[in-house]
Structure 1
C-alpha cells in the first residue's frame, strides 16, 4: 500500500528488487514517478491512487531502464515525461525494454512501456526541480522537492544497490562523481530521500547514503576494492565486476 513519507509524497514498494513507485501531489493533480513493477502491483497502485481522490495529471520517468518505463491504463491517458535525453533513449530502446519486461516480470502492459515525451522547459506539471546528470543512464534525473524536504533520487543513493555504471559509455566514474556532487547539494536540504530501489532514508541516513556512494566511487577511482556492505549480496557480483572494468584508467 501507499505510505506517506512527506506532505504530498507517497511511496509504494514492489517485491521486485525493492522498487519504489512514487506518487507526488502537484498543483494540478498527481504525478506518478517510476510506477511499477508487476502488473498486479500496478493495478494495486491504481487502487491506492483512486483512494487519494486526486486525478493523475502526468507520469515521470527518472531514467530509460525498463523498470522505470512502466504504465497502466488505469492511471489515465496523460503525458508521461522524462528529460529530453531520457525520452529519446527510451524511444530508441523501447522494443528491448518490452522484451526485458516480459522476461523479468509478469502482467505488465507491454504496449504502454516507454511512451515518453521531453519535459517542458518550465517543468510543468512536474513539481520541484529536476536535476539531470549522466550517471547510471542517459538523461538520468532526480526530483528535488525543496518545499517538502524530499529528494527522489532514481537509481542512486540506495541502501541495497551499489552504484551501477553504464558499461556502454566511457567516463562513467567521472560522471558518477559529478552526479553525486549535484545530488549532495540538494541532499543537504532534505529530510527524506527516496531511492529507486531500497528503503526510504530519513534524517541522518540521507547523508549516510551519500557517503556510501561516494566511498564506493572513490575506491573505484583509486583502483581499490570497495569496502561496502551492499556487496554481501551475491547477485551484485556481476554489476560490481563491470564497474571495476569501467573504472580502469583507459575507461575513465
Structure 2
C-alpha cells in the first residue's frame, strides 16, 4: 500500500526489483511518477490513489526504460510528462518496450505504455524542480521537492542496484559523474530520497547513497575490483561486467 514519506508524497513498492511508484500532491491534484510494475500492482496503486480522494492531474516518467513507462486507465486520461529526450526515445522504442513488458510481467495494459509528452515550460502541474541528466538513460530526470525536503531520483542512488551505465552510449562515466554532482547539489535541500528501486533513504543515508555510487564509478574508471556490497546479488554480475567492459573500452 501507499506509504507517506513526506507531506504530500507517498510511495508504493513492487516486489519486482523493489520498484517504487511515487504519488505527489500538486496545486491542482496528484501526479503519479513511474507507476508499476505488473497489472496487479497498477490496480492496487489505483485503489490506493482513489482512497486519497484527490484527482490525478498528470503522470511523470523519469526515463525511457519499459518499467518506468507504464500506466493504467484508472489513473485517468491525463498528460503523462517527461523530458523531451525521454519522450522521443519512448516513442521510438515503444514497440520494444511493449514486448519487454509482455515478457516480464503479467496484466500490464500494453496499449498505454510510453505515451509521453514533453514537459511544458510551465511545468504542467508537476511540482518541484526538474534535474535532467544523461546518466543511465537519455533524458533521465530527478525531481527535487525542496519545500518538502524530498528528492525523487529515478534509477539513481539505489541501495539494491549498482549504477547501470547506458548501454552502447559513449561517455557514460563522465555523464554519471556529472549526474551525481547535480544530485549532490540537490541533496543539500532534501532529507528524504526516493530511488526508482530500493528503500527510501532518510537523513545521513542520503549522503551514503551518493558516496556508494561515486565509489563504484571511481572503481570502474580506475579499472579496480569493486567491493560494492550490492554485487553480492548474483543477478547483478552481468550488468557489472557490462559496466566494466564499457569503462575499459572508454579507457583504451
Scaled to the shorter chain, the TM-score interval is: over 0.9
2: distance between equivalents of 1:251 and 1:124? 42
2:157 counterpart of 1:133: no
Distance 1:89 1:226 in 2: 32
Contact preservation (8 Å) 1:131, 1:142? yes
Secondary structure at the residue paired with 1:239? helix
CA-CA distance at 1:188 after TM superposition: 1.8
Shift of residue 126, structure 1, vs aligned partner = 0.4
* 5+ residue gaps, structure 2: none
> 2:181 corresponds to which residue?
181
- SS of structure 2 residue aligned to 1:212: helix
Cα drift, residue 249 of structure 1: 5.1
Kept in 1, the 8 Å contact 2:2–2:12? The answer is yes
Moved more, 117-126 or 150-159: 117-126
Match of 2:39 in 1: 39
Aligned equivalent of 1:57: 57
Q: Distance in 2 between matches of 1:216 and 1:234?
A: 17
Query: Displacement of 1:8 after TM fit?
Result: 0.2
Counterpart for residue 77 of structure 1: 77
Q: Which runs of structure 2 are paired with 1:15-164 in the superposition (5 Å)?
A: 15-164=15-164
Match of 2:235 in 1: 235
SS at match of 1:4: strand
Q: Distance in 1 between matches of 2:14 and 2:237?
A: 22
Deviation for aligned residue 1:124: 2.4
Question: In 2, distance between residues paired with 1:18 and 1:152?
Answer: 15
Deviation at 1:245, TM superposition (A): 0.8
Q: Deviations over 1:86-144 (max 9, x none)?
A: 00000000000000000011100000000000000121210000100000000000000
Regions of 4+ moved over 6 Å: none
Matches within 5 A, 1:188-203: 188-203=188-203
- CA RMSD in angstroms comes to 0.9
Match of 1:169 in 2: 169
Q: CA contact under 8 A between 2:22 and 2:35: conserved in structure 1?
A: yes
- The number of residues matched between the two structures is 252
In 1, the alpha carbon distance for the partners of 2:146 and 2:110 equals: 34
Is the Cα–Cα contact under 8 Å of residues 89 and 138 in structure 2 kept in the other structure?
yes
Give distance in 1, aligned partners of 2:143 and 2:250.
Answer: 33
